[in-house]
Chains A and B, each alone.
Chain A
């Protein structure tokens, strides 16, 4: 079955430190991978996506993610965390064969302490 896993419900990081939010997927075929962020009382916002090519993709707000096919992972990273990065982060996957099949992970709450 197609699925996306975010193994950590919460990640706590001190401001200025690097952060990683983990995502693994289980799909058949070649997936398209996304990260979205949800701030309190606001809608989900697109951060970045991987389609093909360079395994390291860069997105909004200084975030980047690394696609690792052998480990079926797409971890979100940022070199230096900001307090304003505190939010709920969702990994998602879609498939070439079906534009409607977007599967979201359960989310990871990122908390950056000053």
Chain B
């Protein structure tokens, strides 16, 4: 079946604008993760959903970041009043059971550039 998809692939926003990034996980996958990957760095955990429940949002860097997964499938990461330091690649991943042993399947990412 299809893998994890993300849209848009590229987004340029002026500082202060709000953006919304979409993730379509693999169908039937229970868990969904968002990561932020700065240039030359590994992915940094942002938040985690199990079905529609957001079980961990400890990685969200500020209250300008908000994520939702209302029906337990598609997820949206919203960033309000974007700042230059928000420029990064935002990765979405899903896993089948939501267990620590599960491998994660990653989307291609959304590259956000804030000017």
The answer to whether A and B belong to the same complex is yes
Contact of B99 among A43, A92, A99, A106 (CB under 8 A): A99
Interface locus among B11-19, B39-47, B61-69, B72-80: B39-47
Cα separation A34 to B41 with both chains bound (whole Å): 17
B107 close to A (CB within 8 Å): yes
Q: Please report whether the interface of chain B is mostly helix, strand, loop or mixed according to DSSP.
A: loop
Contact of A46 among B40, B42, B105, B108 (CB under 8 A): B105
State whether B100 touches A99 (Cβ < 8 A). yes
Number of interface residues of B (CB under 8 A): 29
State whether B103 touches A100 (Cβ < 8 A). no
A44 close to B (CB within 8 Å): yes
Number of interface residues of A (CB under 8 A): 27
State whether A44 touches B91 (Cβ < 8 A). yes
Question: How far is the CB of B87 from the nearest CB of chain A, in Å?
Answer: 18
State whether B108 touches A41 (Cβ < 8 A). yes
With A100-B33, A100-B48, A100-B55 in contact, do A43 and B42 touch (Cβ < 8 Å)? no
B7 close to A (CB within 8 Å): no
- Report A's interface with B, CB cutoff 8 A: 32, 34, 36, 41-46, 49, 51, 90, 92, 94-107
Residues of B within 8 A of A32 (CB): 100-101
Question: How far is the CB of B88 from the nearest CB of chain A, in Å?
Answer: 14
Cα separation A98 to B3 with both chains bound (whole Å): 25
State whether B43 touches A104 (Cβ < 8 A). yes
Question: How far is the CB of B51 from the nearest CB of chain A, in Å?
Answer: 13
State whether B101 touches A51 (Cβ < 8 A). yes
Cα separation A49 to B102 with both chains bound (whole Å): 9
Cα separation A54 to B45 with both chains bound (whole Å): 29
State whether A105 touches B42 (Cβ < 8 A). yes
Residues of B within 8 A of A90 (CB): 42-43
State whether B45 touches A44 (Cβ < 8 A). no
Contact of B109 among A43, A97, A101 (CB under 8 A): A43
